Amino acid sequence: MTDATLPLAAPGDEISLEALASAVNYCNAQAEALNQQLESGTGTPAELQAMRDLRNEFRIRALELSAGSIRLQAGEAKISAEHIASAVAAADRTIASIQAFKQKLAKLGAVLDFFATLLTGDGRQIVAGAETLKQSLEA
């Protein structure tokens, strides 16, 4: 997703709740997966705390993303449901294949950061966030 190839948002354009569904579902799924890991009690106290923190962040982000449509800033990149779903799918594929705890947490944190940029409605920030997420997933 690059800024130069996307159409520009017009006044009143928004990312609908339907377009945000993949992000909300991903947040809820990750929170539930982390909850299941926590219930198993496997990990050091520091790892368990990191999982609790991340689980809570995913729960919060799901609530934020499901609160309503996000108005896009006019004149900035127009973000679509396909863009969001593509980012979520790429993250899911990559993170599902990672076994190392710290590496997995770092990549999940990058997903949360990307979702936070969605909330801004600023196409330029969202595109930059998508690029940062892509780099994080590839690292």
Residue 6 pLDDT > 90, yes or no?
A: no
The residue ranges of every structural domain in the chain are 14-138
Q: pLDDT tens digits, residue range 37-68?
A: 999 988 899 999 999 999 999 999 999 999 98
> Which residue did the predictor score with more confidence, 39 or 1?
39
- Taking residues 115-135, what's their average pLDDT? 94
- Taking residues 92-113, what's their average pLDDT? 92
Q: pLDDT tens digits, residue range 28-38?
A: 999 999 999 99
Closest CA to 126 of 86, 89, 91, 77: 77
Q: What is the pTM of this model?
A: 0.89
Sign of CA dihedral 17, 113, 138, 40: negative
